[in-house]
Amino acid sequence: MSEVQPVSVGVIGCGNISGAYMRMLKTLPIVRVVACADLRPEAAQALAEQYQVPCVLSVEALLADPQIEIVLNLTVPQAHGAIAIAALEAGKSVYNEKPLALTREEGRRMLALAAQKGLRVGGAPDTFLGGGLQTCRELIDAGVIGEPVAATAFMMSRGHEHWHPNPVFYYQKGGGPMFDMGPYYLTALVSLLGPVRRVTGATRITRPQRIITSQPRYGEVIEVETPTHVAGLLDFAAGPIGTIITTFDVQASNLPWIEIYGTKGTLAAPDPNTFGGPVRVRLAGDDAWKEIPVTRPYTENSRGLGLADMAEGMRTGRPHRASGELAYHVLDIMHAIHEASDEGRHIVLESTCERPEPLNVA
Q: Tell me phi and psi for residue 247, to 5 degrees.
A: -150, 150
Residue 50 CA to residue 205 CA, distance in Å, equals 42
Residue 93 is which amino acid? Answer: S
Mean pLDDT over the full length of the chain: 96
pLDDT of 3 over the 90 cut: no
Residue 224 CA to residue 247 CA, distance in Å, equals 14
Distances (CA, A) of 248 to 78, 124, 215: 20, 22, 19
Among 123, 158, 181, identify where a domain stops.
Answer: 123
Are 143 and 257 contained in the same domain?
yes
pTM for the model stands at: 0.96
What's the number of domains the chain is made of?
2
Q: Is residue 356 part of a domain?
A: no
Q: pLDDT tens-digit profile of 86-107?
A: 999 999 999 999 999 999 999 9
Distances (CA, A) of 144 to 265, 286, 335: 8, 13, 33
Are 96 and 158 contained in the same domain?
no
Q: What is the CATH number of the domain that holds 63?
A: 3.40.50.720
Output the pLDDT for position 349: 98
Are 52 and 117 contained in the same domain?
yes
Distances (CA, A) of 254 to 154, 250, 257, 267, 327: 10, 11, 9, 17, 29
Are 344 and 212 contained in the same domain?
yes
Residue 283 is which amino acid? Answer: L
Q: Is residue 355 part of a domain?
A: no
Q: Is residue 260 part of a domain?
A: yes
Run of H or E residues at 327: helix 324-343
Q: Is residue 319 part of a domain?
A: no
Are 115 and 137 contained in the same domain?
no
Q: What is the CATH number of the domain that holds 251?
A: 3.30.360.10
Q: pLDDT tens-digit profile of 280-306?
A: 999 999 999 999 999 999 999 999 999
Are 36 and 185 contained in the same domain?
no
Are 26 and 40 contained in the same domain?
yes
For the chain, what percentages of helix, strand and coil (3-state, to nearest 5) are there? 35, 25, 40
Q: Is residue 318 part of a domain?
A: no
Output the pLDDT for position 1: 35
Q: pLDDT tens-digit profile of 61-74?
A: 999 999 999 999 99
Residue 274 CA to residue 130 CA, distance in Å, equals 8
Tell me the residue range of the domain where 246 lies.
128-296+329-348
Residue 276 banded pLDDT, cuts 50, 70, 90: very high
Are 186 and 285 contained in the same domain?
yes
Q: Is residue 154 part of a domain?
A: yes
Q: Determine the number of helices (DSSP H) and then strands (DSSP E) in the chain.
A: 9, 17
Are 142 and 283 contained in the same domain?
yes
Find out whether the peptide bond into 148 is cis, omega within 30 degrees of 0. Answer: no
Run of H or E residues at 247: strand 241-247
Q: Is residue 271 part of a domain?
A: yes
Query: How would you classify the pairing of strands 265-269 and 258-262?
Result: antiparallel
Among 58, 90, 123, identify where a domain stops.
Answer: 123
DSSP code string of 128-196: GGSHHHHHHHHHHHTTTT-SEEEEEEEEE---STTT-SSGGGGGSTT-HHHHHHHHHHHHHHHHHH--E
For the chain, give the percent of residues with pLDDT over 70: 99
Residue 362 banded pLDDT, cuts 50, 70, 90: low
Q: Rg of the chain's alpha carbons, rounded to an integer?
A: 20
Output the pLDDT for position 2: 41
Are 231 and 287 contained in the same domain?
yes
| Structural contact between residues 334 and 117, judged by C-beta atoms closer than 8 angstroms | no
Are 185 and 86 contained in the same domain?
no
Burial of 158 (0-12, 13-18, 19+ CB in 10 A): middle
Residue 94 CA to residue 102 CA, distance in Å, equals 16
Q: Is residue 316 part of a domain?
A: no
Among 123, 154, 173, identify where a domain stops.
Answer: 123
Are 149 and 290 contained in the same domain?
yes
